[in-house]
Amino acid sequence: TLPVMDSSWAPVSTVMDETYKTAITRLGDRIRVGGTAELGRPDAMLRPDRRAALEHSLGDLFPAAGDASRATFWSGLRPMTPDGPPVVGATSVRGLYLNTGHGTLGWTMACGSGRVLADLVGGDKPEVDVEGLNLARYVR
């Protein structure tokens, strides 16, 4: 994220840059640029070439919006499953439930997955069909 230098040049809503596969979002007086993904990396280190792509995307679309030299950079892990849908549900260990593997849709699916898991833990039937969301789909 970086501070907005000139709000008239900053985005007012999310902009997707298909060339660099990034999303540029206004967060109050700051701009967030994100969208890299590393498959199979066990750490959350932001590679220099990925950082350069984020900076380039912002510079191309909003050159006067912010000062990249004042940006703060971070990255995090976004676990995902090999087939796409998350794993939500009980495991073979009594009392152990999973709600993981949402990948890039973690925030998007958070409330719905949380509701499903709360229903399952509480012994209630979820309002949506959860067949195929548990670990059993990987057992052959």
What is the per-residue pLDDT across 114-125, written as a single tens digit (0 to 9) for each?
A: 999 999 999 999
Q: Is 80 a member of any domain?
A: no
Q: Is 76 a member of any domain?
A: no
Note the pTM of the prediction, 2 decimals. Answer: 0.67
Give the pLDDT confidence score for residue 14 in this predicted structure.
94
Number of domains the chain contains: 2
Specify whether the CB–CB gap between 98 and 34 falls below 8 A: no
The pLDDT tens digits along the chain (140 residues) read: 999 999 999 999 999 999 888 999 999 999 999 987 777 767 778 888 988 999 999 999 999 999 888 999 888 878 889 999 999 999 999 999 999 999 888 889 999 999 999 999 999 999 999 999 999 999 87
Does residue 59 sit in the same domain as residue 112? Answer: no
Segments forming the whole domain that contains residue 66? 2-70
Bridge partners of residue 17, in order along the sequence: 22
Tokens of 113: 């997955």
Give the pLDDT confidence score for residue 74 in this predicted structure.
85
Q: Is 20 a member of any domain?
A: yes
Give the pLDDT confidence score for residue 39 in this predicted structure.
73
Does residue 28 sit in the same domain as residue 54? Answer: yes
49 vs 42: CA distance, rounded Å: 18
- 38 SS3 class: coil
Q: Is 75 a member of any domain?
A: no
Q: Is 42 a member of any domain?
A: yes
